[in-house]
Amino acid sequence: MSDNKDIDINDKMEESSPKKVGRPPHLPNDDTRKQVYELSSVGTRYEDIATVLGISADTLTKYYPEELKKGRIEANAAIASTLYEKAKSGDTTSMIFWLKSRAQWKETQKHEHAGDPDGAPVQVKVVTGIDD
């Protein structure tokens, strides 16, 4: 009798195959490639683009690396162009920002400590609390 029960259990296990869990595989197409590129080209975060498509950020970067890269480059170029034009037209803030970020300019302050107005060295007296 116990042999029949074992056979029944094994038969049931064979009948029910394991089901895959998770999202169905993502299949990129021309529409999704265009959508990723357009969203990336206006500076949309990868996580937000993935949400719009209903996929994970990892899946987004796996299937759309070129669209993401080209979109990011185009967005940066558009902003850089505007910044450059503003700097050329005399906008001081834009000029400063451009030079700091592109020409490695930096603001430095030099602090000098002098002893007295005549330029004599600073006198230092060490106090130890021990009398000689």
Q: Domain spans of the chain?
A: 26-102
Looking at residue 5, what is its pLDDT?
A: 54
The model carries a pTM of 0.60
- Rounded CA-CA distance 73/75 in Å is 5
The phi, psi pair for 114, rounded to 5°, reads -120, 155
Contact by Cβ (8 Å): 62, 98: no
Looking at residue 21, what is its pLDDT?
A: 79
Contact by Cβ (8 Å): 50, 57: yes
Looking at residue 94, what is its pLDDT?
A: 95
Looking at residue 16, what is its pLDDT?
A: 56
Mean pLDDT by 10 residues, the chain (132 residues): 53 59 86 98 96 96 97 95 96 94 86 70 78 64
- Rounded CA-CA distance 101/93 in Å is 12
- Rounded CA-CA distance 9/16 in Å is 11
Neighbour-count burial of 95, counting CB atoms closer than 10 A to its CB (0-12 exposed, 13-18 middle, 19+ buried): middle
